[in-house]
C-alpha cells in the first residue's frame, strides 16, 4: 500500500436478537417456520394495529451498550424511518434516530502491539424488514423471474451498532468484528451467525493523505457475510480509491455490492441522504426511560469480556496464544487446566491444536482428568492421546486408561528387549554391521512388537543402533 495514503474505515453492524418474540408484537422470533407463518396484524401492518415494545430486547440492547462502554440514555425515542419497499409493509421501519438508547462508547481491540480503541458512535434498537426471496437459479435479484416476500423476519429485533471512523486497516476491522461477535454471543443476546444473517455488517471506506485529518468521500460496501470477505473487500476498496486519486480523479459516494471472487464491487445505488427517510418520532410509542436500578442490574450481569480476557492471558502467554484461546472459546477450559496443575504453555498448545482438531465442546470437559493427560503428553502415544481428547467430553471420562499406555522410554526396560531381539537374529545383525543400514528398521519393528507398541520409536531407534554398533 502506498505510504502517502491513510485509509479511514467505519463499520455498521446489525445483530439480530434471539428474544422469544419480535420487537413490537408477540409473534415468535426465530428461524425455521414455513414462509409467512410467524406473522400477525402488527408485523403485517394492518390498519389500526399498535406496536408494544419488547422489554427483553430493550434490556439486551442496554446490556450490549454497557459492554461497549456506552452512555445509556435517560430517555430514548423510537422514530419512523420512512421508505417504500416490498419487504417493509408499513412503508416505515421503527428505528431510533437522534435519541438512541446507547451512545458514545468504545471497544478496545487487543493486538500484538497493544489495544486499539475503536469509538462506538451509537447502538440502537430497530426492527428488521421481511425477507425478499428472488426466484432465480442464482438466488440473486439479477435475472430473477419473481420475488416472493416472507414476513417471518419482519419486525424481529435488531441492534445496530455504528463505530466512529477510527479504523485504519482491514485487519483491525476484521478483529473488531470478530471481537464484537464474540461479545454478543457471550452476552447470550444473539447467535450472531453470519451465514444465517443474524449478524450482518456494512463497511464505510475512504482514504486521505496520511496525516491530513480530513474526511474524504466514502463508499459503503454491503453484502459482507464473512470476516475474511470484509477484510478483502476493504483492501480492494482502499486500493481502488487510491488508484482513482493518484490518476487525478474523484471518488464518488456510492454503495457497492461486494461479490466474493470477483474483481469489482458493482455499485447498487447512490447513497440516500438521511433526510430522504423523513424521520419523525413514532407517535404510537412513548419514549423509553430506563430506570437506573435496571441499568445497574444489567451491568452486574456482565462478566469479564473477551477483550479483557485476551489482555489478562497475554500477561502469562504470548498475545498470539491468548488470542487463539479466547477467540476459540477455549480460555475457560485453559484456566481450569492450569488451575488443575497443567503447565500454562503446554495446556495452550494442546487446546489450540489437538483439542480443536478433536471437535469436542470445551464446556463439557472434566478439566482435572484432562490436566493429568496434558502433563503426560510427551509419554503417551500420539494415537492414544488423540483418542483421549476425542473422548474428553464424554461422561465418566478418565485419564487412567490412557496413562497406562505411557511409552516405555527407560533404557533399563528397553535394553534387555533389544538385546534379546538382536541375539535372535545374528545373521541380520552381522549384515547391518557390514553396511546394510536398512536392516535397522527390521530390529526396531521387532522391539516395538515385543513392547506392545508402548516404546517411544525415536528412543528405540537410538538404542538399537547403539547396541548393533556395539557402543
Ligand atoms: Zn407479529
CATH assignment of the domain containing 440: 1.10.10.410
- Say if residue 335's pLDDT is above 50: yes
Q: Distance, CA 126 to ligand 1 centroid (Å)?
A: 15
Q: Distance, CA 226 to ligand 1 centroid (Å)?
A: 30
- Among the candidates 269, 297, 325, a domain finishes at 297
Question: Same domain for 215 and 321?
Answer: no
Q: Quote the pLDDT of residue 459.
A: 82
Q: Distance, CA 160 to ligand 1 centroid (Å)?
A: 21
Q: Quote the pLDDT of residue 69.
A: 98
Q: Quote the pLDDT of residue 412.
A: 73
Q: Distance, CA 38 to ligand 1 centroid (Å)?
A: 7
Question: Same domain for 99 and 196?
Answer: yes
Residue 57's nearest CA partner among 290, 277, 283 is 290
Q: Quote the pLDDT of residue 174.
A: 95
- Among the candidates 266, 297, 328, a domain finishes at 297
Q: Distance, CA 27 to ligand 1 centroid (Å)?
A: 4
pLDDT band at 271 (very low <50, low <70, confident <90, very high): very low
Residue with the larger pLDDT of the pair 272 and 44:
44
Q: Quote the pLDDT of residue 408.
A: 65
Q: Quote the pLDDT of residue 467.
A: 87
Q: Distance, CA 350 to ligand 1 centroid (Å)?
A: 48
Q: Distance, CA 156 to ligand 1 centroid (Å)?
A: 9
| Residues 55 and 63 sit within 8 Å (Cβ to Cβ) | no
- Grid cell, residue 285, equals 410509542
- Range with the lowest mean pLDDT among 109-113, 174-178, 348-352, 458-462? 458-462
Q: Distance, CA 309 to ligand 1 centroid (Å)?
A: 40
Which structural domain, as residue segments, surrounds residue 390? Answer: 304-403
Mean pLDDT, range 375-398, rounded to an integer: 87
Q: Distance, CA 129 to ligand 1 centroid (Å)?
A: 12
pLDDT band at 142 (very low <50, low <70, confident <90, very high): confident
- Say if residue 46's pLDDT is above 60: yes
Calpha distance 1→313 (Å, rounded) = 33
The predicted-structure confidence for 68-90, as pLDDT tens digits, reads as follows 999 999 999 999 999 999 999 99
Q: Is 272 exposed, middle or buried (0-12, 13-18, 19+ CB in 10 A)?
A: exposed
- Say if residue 168's pLDDT is above 60: yes
Q: How many percent of the chain have pLDDT more than 90?
A: 65
- Grid cell, residue 68, equals 461497549
Q: Distance, CA 196 to ligand 1 centroid (Å)?
A: 21
- Say if residue 379's pLDDT is above 90: no
Question: Same domain for 290 and 382?
Answer: no
- Say if residue 133's pLDDT is above 70: yes
By DSSP bridging, strand 219-224 and strand 255-257 are parallel
- Range with the lowest mean pLDDT among 180-194, 199-213, 218-232, 335-349? 218-232
Calpha distance 136→143 (Å, rounded) = 7
Q: Distance, CA 236 to ligand 1 centroid (Å)?
A: 41
Mean pLDDT, range 385-412, rounded to an integer: 83
Question: Same domain for 163 and 282?
Answer: yes
pLDDT band at 413 (very low <50, low <70, confident <90, very high): confident
Q: Distance, CA 202 to ligand 1 centroid (Å)?
A: 27
Q: Distance, CA 74 to ligand 1 centroid (Å)?
A: 28
Question: Same domain for 204 and 316?
Answer: no
Neighbours of ion ligand 1 (CB under 5 A): 25, 27, 40, 42-43
Calpha distance 323→28 (Å, rounded) = 37
Q: Distance, CA 225 to ligand 1 centroid (Å)?
A: 27
- Grid cell, residue 90, equals 408499513
Question: Same domain for 397 and 416?
Answer: no
Mean pLDDT, range 409-416, rounded to an integer: 74
Q: Distance, CA 16 to ligand 1 centroid (Å)?
A: 16
- Among the candidates 403, 425, 444, a domain finishes at 403
Q: Distance, CA 40 to ligand 1 centroid (Å)?
A: 4
Question: Same domain for 123 and 248?
Answer: yes
Question: Same domain for 37 and 88?
Answer: yes
Q: Quote the pLDDT of residue 134.
A: 83
Q: Distance, CA 42 to ligand 1 centroid (Å)?
A: 5
Q: Distance, CA 58 to ligand 1 centroid (Å)?
A: 17
Q: Quote the pLDDT of residue 378.
A: 81
pLDDT band at 56 (very low <50, low <70, confident <90, very high): very high
Residue 305, C-beta contacts closer than 8 angstroms, at least 6 positions apart: 67, 183, 186
Q: Distance, CA 54 to ligand 1 centroid (Å)?
A: 12
- Say if residue 192's pLDDT is above 60: yes
Q: Quote the pLDDT of residue 274.
A: 54
Mean pLDDT, range 217-236, rounded to an integer: 90
Question: Same domain for 241 and 101?
Answer: yes
Q: Quote the pLDDT of residue 89.
A: 95
Residue 113, C-beta contacts closer than 8 angstroms, at least 6 positions apart: none
- Say if residue 26's pLDDT is above 90: yes
Q: Distance, CA 228 to ligand 1 centroid (Å)?
A: 35
- Range with the lowest mean pLDDT among 5-9, 204-208, 427-431, 452-456? 452-456
- Say if residue 139's pLDDT is above 80: no
- Range with the lowest mean pLDDT among 45-54, 299-308, 382-391? 382-391
Q: Distance, CA 239 to ligand 1 centroid (Å)?
A: 45
Question: Same domain for 372 and 416?
Answer: no
Q: Distance, CA 22 to ligand 1 centroid (Å)?
A: 7
Q: How many percent of the chain have pLDDT more than 70?
A: 94
In the 3-class helix/strand/coil scheme, how is the chain assigned residue by residue? CCCCEEEEEEEEEEEECCCCECCCCCCECCCCCCCCCCCCCCCCCCCCCCCCCCHHHHHHHHHHHHHCCCEECCCECEEEEECCCCCCCCCEEEEECCCCCEEEEEEEEEECCEEEEEEEEEEEEEECCCEEEEECCCCCCCCCCEEEEEHHHCCCEEEEEEECCCECCHHHHHHHHHHHHHHHHHCCCCCCCCCCCCEEEEEEEEEEECCCCCCCCCEEEEEECCHHHHHHHHHHHHHHHHHHHHCCCCCCCCEEECCCCCCCCCEEECCCCHHHHCCEECCCCCCECCCHHHHHHHHHCCCCCHHHHHHHHCCCCCHHHHHHHHHCCCHHHHHHHHHCCCCHHHHHHHHHHHHHHHCCCHHHCCHHHHHHHHHCHHHCCHHHHHHHHHCCCCCCCCCHHHHCCCCECCHHHHHHHHHHHHHHCHHHHHHHHCCCHHHHHHHHHHHHHHCCCCECHHHHHHHHHHHHCCC
pLDDT band at 199 (very low <50, low <70, confident <90, very high): very high
Question: Same domain for 349 and 394?
Answer: yes
pLDDT band at 471 (very low <50, low <70, confident <90, very high): low
Residue 236's nearest CA partner among 182, 153, 170, 141 is 170
CA gyration radius, the chain:
30
- Say if residue 2's pLDDT is above 50: no
pLDDT band at 98 (very low <50, low <70, confident <90, very high): very high
- Say if residue 307's pLDDT is above 90: yes
pLDDT band at 266 (very low <50, low <70, confident <90, very high): low
Q: Distance, CA 30 to ligand 1 centroid (Å)?
A: 12
Q: Distance, CA 51 to ligand 1 centroid (Å)?
A: 9
What domain count does the chain have? 3
Residue with the larger pLDDT of the pair 400 and 157:
157
End-to-end CA distance of the chain: 61
The predicted-structure confidence for 426-468, as pLDDT tens digits, reads as follows 999 999 988 888 889 899 988 888 877 777 788 888 889 888 8
Cα dihedral 297, 298, 302, 308 sign = negative
Question: Same domain for 393 and 416?
Answer: no
Instruction: Look over the chain and give the mean of its residue pLDDT values, rounded to a whole number.
Output: 90
- Say if residue 59's pLDDT is above 90: yes
Mean pLDDT, range 182-196, rounded to an integer: 94
Amino acid at each position: 500500500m502506498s505510504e502517502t495514503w491513510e485509509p479511514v474505515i467505519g463499520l455498521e453492524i446489525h445483530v439480530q436478537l434471539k428474544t422469544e418474540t419480535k420487537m413490537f408484537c408477540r409473534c415468535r422470533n426465530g428461524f425455521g417456520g414455513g414462509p409467512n407463518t410467524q406473522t400477525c396484524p402488527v408485523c403485517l401492518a394492518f390498519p389500526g394495529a399498535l406496536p408494544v415494545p419488547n422489554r427483553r430486547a430493550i434490556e439486551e440492547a442496554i446490556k450490549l451498550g454497557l459492554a461497549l462502554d456506552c452512555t445509556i440514555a435517560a430517555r430514548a425515542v423510537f422514530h419512523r424511518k420512512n421508505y417504500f419497499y416490498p419487504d417493509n409493509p408499513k412503508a416505515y421501519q421503527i428505528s431510533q434516530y437522534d435519541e438512541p438508547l446507547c451512545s458514545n462508547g468504545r471497544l478496545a481491540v487487543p493486538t500484538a502491539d497493544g489495544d486499539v480503541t475503536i469509538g462506538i458512535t451509537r447502538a440502537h434498537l430497530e426492527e428488521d424488514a421481511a425477507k425478499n426471496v428472488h426466484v432465480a437459479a442464482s438466488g440473486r435479484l439479477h435475472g430473477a423471474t419473481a420475488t416472493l416476500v416472507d414476513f417471518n423476519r419482519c419486525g424481529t429485533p435488531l441492534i445496530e451498532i455504528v463505530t466512529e471512523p477510527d479504523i485504519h486497516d482491514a485487519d483491525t476491522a476484521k478483529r473488531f468484528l470478530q471481537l464484537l461477535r464474540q461479545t454478543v454471543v457471550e452476552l447470550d443476546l444473539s447467535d450472531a451467525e453470519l451465514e444465517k444473517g443474524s449478524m450482518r455488517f456494512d463497511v464505510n471506506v475512504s482514504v486521505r493523505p496520511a496525516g491530513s485529518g480530513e474526511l474524504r468521500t466514502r463508499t459503503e460496501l454491503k453484502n459482507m457475510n464473512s470476516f475474511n470477505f470484509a477484510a478483502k473487500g476493504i483492501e480492494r476498496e482502499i486500493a481502488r480509491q487510491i488508484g482513482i486519486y493518484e490518476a487525478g480523479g474523484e471518488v464518488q459516494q456510492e454503495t457497492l455490492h461486494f461479490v466474493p471472487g470477483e474483481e469489482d464491487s458493482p455499485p447498487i445505488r447512490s447513497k440516500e441522504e438521511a433526510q430522504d427517510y423523513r424521520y419523525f418520532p413514532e407517535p404510537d410509542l412513548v419514549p423509553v426511560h430506563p430506570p437506573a436500578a435496571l441499568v445497574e442490574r444489567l451491568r452486574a450481569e456482565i462478566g469479564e469480556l473477551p477483550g479483557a480476557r485476551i489482555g489478562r492471558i497475554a500477561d502469562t502467554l504470548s498475545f498470539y496464544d491468548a488470542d487463539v484461546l479466547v477467540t476459540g472459546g477455549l480460555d475457560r477450559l485453559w484456566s481450569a487446566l492450569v488451575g488443575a496443575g497443567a503447565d500454562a504453555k503446554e495446556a495452550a498448545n494442546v487446546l489450540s491444536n489437538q483439542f480443536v482438531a478433536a471437535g469436542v465442546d470445551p464446556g463439557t470437559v472434566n478439566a482435572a482428568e484432562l490436566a493429568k493427560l496434558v502433563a503426560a503428553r510427551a509419554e503417551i502415544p500420539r494415537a492414544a492421546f488423540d483418542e483421549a481428547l476425542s473422548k474428553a467430553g464424554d461422561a465418566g471420562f478418565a485419564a487412567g486408561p490412557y496413562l497406562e499406555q505411557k511409552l516405555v522410554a527407560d533404557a533399563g526396560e528397553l535394553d534387555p528387549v533389544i538385546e534379546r531381539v538382536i541375539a535372535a537374529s545374528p545373521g541380520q545383525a552381522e549384515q547391518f554391521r557390514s553396511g546394510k543400514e536398512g536392516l535397522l528398521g527390521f530390529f526396531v519393528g521387532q522391539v516395538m512388537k515385543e513392547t506392545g507398541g508402548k516404546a517411544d520409536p525415536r528412543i528405540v531407534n537410538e538404542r538399537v543402533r547403539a547396541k548393533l554398533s556395539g557402543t
